[in-house]
Amino acid sequence: MSIYKQTISIEHKYRGSVILPDNSEAKNIFFRTKQAYANHEKMSVNILFSKAKLHKLKHYQKGASEVELENLNLYIEMSKLLNFNADDAIKLQSNILFTNDSAHTNFNITKRLKLINKKSKSKATQSYLFWDIENFSSISSIFNDIIEKYEISDNKIFLAANPDSLYLKRAEWEANLYDYGKTLNSFNFIKCNHGKNVADDVLLSEFQNAKLKNANVFILTFDRELKERFSEITDPSNNLYIMAN
């Protein structure tokens, strides 16, 4: 990481210097902030981010909003040197950090994922998730440790739940998904019929119909029998992962 220090001079008067974060937006934000201050404009986070971006930052962002936090810190440091109010930036920074902390409170799923159809993983060109949400609802862990890590797009995520679980837990699931800007309908969500292991049967059917090859396939359920059922029909080129007991 390169360290670049930028001096601040207003009307030929030296006001100090700040270290620019090592990201593509930092220099532009530095000059926009300096120019706004010199022009006696209202200082606010709107100098840094658009309204659309500020709305997105109310929810968890991929990468934990690392770049945005760096640039907020730059703005706050400039406020100290130029003596302008940055309370809104400090509040936004705190809100982002709180959202990040909330998103990482659950255990690390990757420690429990087990490759079950071969001894070592092969090269994969895509990743899919088959998710029995009624039996595995640790949403923040799933996003942090699987969906974001393996860059699984919404259309490659399959969820299943029976009517009883949907009635009892839908509000909770939707609230947790909201932190990531998602709803159940963001994905391939299937409402199952009543009965034991129905969700597993639905996910198995979706997996079979997808006819996947050269893919990482994550099966999130605690059903022991599902291991054999998925293993029997998967293409040998796939990497099949399931939760270890």
Question: Which residues does 78 contact at the CB level (< 8 Å), separation at least 6?
Answer: 8, 18, 30, 33, 34, 37
- Phi, psi for residue 43 in degrees, rounded to 5: -90, 125
Percent of the chain that is helix, strand, coil (3-state, to 5): 45, 20, 35
Q: At what angle do helices 198-210 and 225-233 cross, to 10 degrees?
A: 20
The secondary structure of 165-182, three-state, reads HHHHHHHHHHHHHHCCCC
What is the Cα–Cα distance from 16 to 126, expressed in whole angstroms? Answer: 49
Report domain extents, the chain. 4-103, 109-243
Model pLDDT, residue 243: 74
pLDDT tens digit string along 179-234? Answer: 889 999 999 998 876 654 567 788 899 999 999 999 999 998 766 677 788 889 99
- Rounded to an integer, the average pLDDT of 84-102 is 83
Q: Is 135's pLDDT higher than 60?
A: yes
What single-letter amino acid sits at 131? W
What is the Cα–Cα distance from 216 to 127, expressed in whole angstroms? Answer: 4
Q: Is 21's pLDDT higher than 60?
A: yes
1: pLDDT confidence band, cut at 50, 70 and 90?
very low
Is the model's pTM score more than 0.85? no
Model pLDDT, residue 134: 75
Q: Is 15's pLDDT higher than 70?
A: yes
Q: Which CATH code of 1.10.287, 3.40.50, 3.30.1370, 3.30.70 fits the domain covering 109-243?
A: 3.40.50
